[in-house]
Structure 1
């Protein structure tokens, strides 16, 4: 058996911070608290993450990156719409279903809605929201560069897809049946198809130009 190497100091810090966030979305990721959890000095933490914001952003990017494999969107042997569907399904799968989803949403609502969130909780939420948007926008950038996705505002399109994901994630926490579970894929496919279908106004404008 090949012995597993110990996590680097940087990885230990990220693991400690990610664990704190998973236990409490509103946890204060202060330098002192994270360093103590990771078993490193505050100086070591500052070496890798000079500011609290840099640490939060890295943790958010790392956790959101775990929800979908980068290999999926880059597999050109699979049709573009199917790749995007698979990526979105991976993200939804990470939210769980039934009691798991209800627990996650209860925790989220208690942290951000049930009472006035702290500045630290707000900073963490915004970092995760931004990381999720960057992840989805990256998928679209990959497909657009391949020439399989029509050119467009990928930041806006990513925001649209993330709203769809949020809605479906909430639906997973509500009472459901087999029909709704099956319709989840249909909803995702419809949302994705909107990105690959030329907008009617743009199509009409192109037709008008061709007639001139």
Structure 2
């Protein structure tokens, strides 16, 4: 192991600095200059380890999510990629609950973010929540892209689509339903995941 690869090497300093920046502000942009300055390394060193901002961002998110969610189902290769992604998306929906719990959650969200013109503070709060969800899905898609389950291109359209599906399903959990919510939700999640993974 070279000095640069060790725990105090420049690659580690860069990853630690970028992770700290995101921990302080989930909406942080992670510009090359800002991360290099925070890590105490040159921009050339940063570019050596991470030729693109995308590679830096993917590495930081992988590190964060591996630490925060060590048992993330996206890493369970005993399951097909589509099953893993559906399981991950279902985890996002789980805290919303069903029925009365979901209604209460949406009532609070409506009061906080929709009912009145949001202040800058409320807008920032909501965008941080949205960015956190975006980054989590981006991490899952990056893992699958690394495995070759989908193209390793910018995933913005896929992420936006999945977030829209999740928002719709969470609202549906709060509404009266005739059919089994679990059954229709599962069908919808698989349709969405199949669309995202389609070549």
Which band: TM-score by shorter chain?
A: 0.5 to 0.7
Q: In the aligned structure 2, how far is the partner of 1:68 from the partner of 1:143?
A: 16
| Counterpart-to-counterpart distance in 1, 2:96 and 2:145 | 28
SS at match of 2:132: helix
Indicate how the Cα distance of structure 1 residues 111 and 168 shifts in structure 2: closer, same or farther if over 3 A, else same: same
How many pairs were matched up? 142
Q: How many Å separate the matches in 2 of 1:153 and 1:70?
A: 26
**For 1:55-94, what aligned pairs fall within 5 Å after superposition?**
55=24, 57=26, 70-94=71-95
Residue by residue over 1:62-89, the C-alpha shift from the partner in whole angstroms, topping out at 9 and shown as x without a partner, is xxx7x97652101112110000000011
Larger Rg: 1
Confirm or deny: 8 A CA contact 2:72 2:88 kept in the other structure.
no
Calculate the TM-score normalised by the size of structure 1: 0.60
Larger displacement relative to structure 2 (123-132 or 146-155):
146-155
CA RMSD of aligned residues (A): 2.6
Residue aligning to 2:128? 127
User: Structure 1 residues 54, 121: closer, same or farther in 2, change over 3 A?
Assistant: farther
Separation (CA, whole Å) in 1 of partners of 2:119 and 2:152: 40
- How far 1:149 sits from its partner (Å)? 2.1
CA distance in 1, matches of 2:71, 2:89: 12
| Alpha-carbon distance in 2 for matches of 1:56, 1:104 | 25
Task: Name the counterpart of 1:154.
Answer: 155
Tell me the equivalent position of 2:139. 138
Q: What is the TM-score normalised by the length of structure 2?
A: 0.64
Return 5+ residue gaps in structure 1 as ranges: 1-49, 199-212
Match of 2:196 in 1: 195
| Distance (Å, rounded) in 2 between the aligned partners of 1:54 and 1:187 | 33
Q: Per-residue deviation at 1:153?
A: 2.7
